[in-house]
Amino acid sequence: MRLKCPKFLCFKDKAEIFLFILASISIIILFLIIVFVLNEGVPAFIELGFSNFLFGHRWSPYYGNFGAFPLIYGSILIVLGSLAISVPLGVFTAIFLAEYSPRWLSNMLKPIIELLAAIPSIIYGFFGFVFLAPKIMEFLNVGIGEVALTASIILSIMTVPTIVSISSEVIASVPKEYRKASLALGATKWQTIKSLVLPTAKPGIIASLLLAFGRAVGETVAVLMVCGCVPQIPSPPWNYLEPVHALTAAIALDMGEVSWGSLHYHVLFGLGVILLVITFIVNMIADFFIKKAPRGVQI
């Protein structure tokens, strides 16, 4: 008979004990993050009331108005705008890379597009603030260049690599036999892609959009520098040529100035909680779609 030891805490060797300790430390720290942000953020929800905080229309912390709605709205507005640009751009580029471009071109373009994701957000902020915003002001003839549109454009460049790299991988992993079968029936290349390849790759592409959404909504300094930081709901609400404010930007701007333990302090953590919830939900839905992606595709 084989002795079954309790699986947990049954160490095979010294190395395992050492690794176990380090791994426990890092896992505990990482869970502390959630605990601490919740711990500091929940008082805001309690003190202000859940719906007052979430749906309050005025955000002017120095006068005691802590309505987060303009920030949430601003974040969503900017992010949706950025997706409106990055989704077609990203998916088209992904199709191009996976299906049309010669190998050498893909091999050159892919690392460049990946680099776009690696460029620090402060540099995007710099570029948007010094280059793009004045251009927007000039060409669209608006009073200031730091508006929702500027933020959306910058965010779209920042997040498009996520869409391109995941989508092109998913598209490339659709089995060759499918295509051959369709081409043999006399379909053109584009018909084949449209009616066969894209539907098969759809879950993966959707997952890439969701991950891009998650990345965009958490972006901080670049947004802060180009969105104008005016906590308002534009009129009409879809007016992209007005400045807005964002969840992340509000946290970054105010955090340096609040006193520890004040209501304002807790409110900023409350914004952090909202942000966490949004990213977790988005990531979870993305996971769901990733699991539906064709077999053999790793994201």
Q: Which of residues 184-243 bind other proteins (CB under 8 A)?
A: 188-190, 211, 214-215, 217-221, 224-225
The string over 105-135, giving b where at least 16 C-beta atoms fall within 10 Å of a residue's C-beta and e elsewhere, is: ebeebbeebeeeeeeebeebbebbbeebbee
Among 18, 50, 178, 288, binds other proteins (CB under 8 A): 18
Give the binding range for other proteins (CB under 8 A) out of 19-27, 57-65, 138-146, 195-203: 19-27
CA angle, 219 as apex, 273 and 299 as ends, to 5°? 95
How many residues bind to other proteins according to rule CB under 8 A?
Answer: 88
Give the binding range for other proteins (CB under 8 A) out of 48-56, 121-129, 143-151, 234-242: 121-129
In whole angstroms, the minimum distance from the beta carbon of 175 to other proteins comes to: 21
Among 46, 84, 123, 277, binds other proteins (CB under 8 A): 123
Residues 256-285 that bind other proteins (CB under 8 A): 256, 260, 268-269, 272, 275-276, 279-280, 283-284
In whole angstroms, the minimum distance from the beta carbon of 78 to other proteins comes to: 14
How far apart are the C-alpha atoms of 43 and 29, rounded to whole Å? 22
Alpha helices (H) along 6-141: 14-48, 50-55, 69-95, 103-118, 121-127, 133-140
Residues 143-162 that bind other proteins (CB under 8 A): 157, 160
Cβ(270)–Cβ(45) under 8 Å?
A: yes
Residues 77-106 that bind other proteins (CB under 8 A): 88-90, 92-93, 95-97, 100-101
In whole angstroms, the minimum distance from the beta carbon of 235 to other proteins comes to: 27
Tell me the sheet residues that pair with 60.
65
- 127 binding other proteins? (CB under 8 A): yes
- 7 binding other proteins? (CB under 8 A): yes
The candidate with the shortest Cα–Cα distance to 171, out of 107, 111, 99, is 99
Q: In angstroms, what CA-CA distances link 145 with 80, 138, 184, 232, 249?
A: 19, 8, 53, 16, 17
- 112 binding other proteins? (CB under 8 A): yes
Q: Is 265 helix (H, G, I), strand (E, B) or coil?
A: helix
Give the binding range for other proteins (CB under 8 A) out of 144-152, 178-186, 195-203, 244-252: 244-252
Q: Please name the helix (run of DSSP H) or strand (run of DSSP E) that holds residue 184, with its range, or none.
A: helix 176-184
Q: How far is CA 184 from the centre of its chain?
A: 40
- 111 binding other proteins? (CB under 8 A): yes
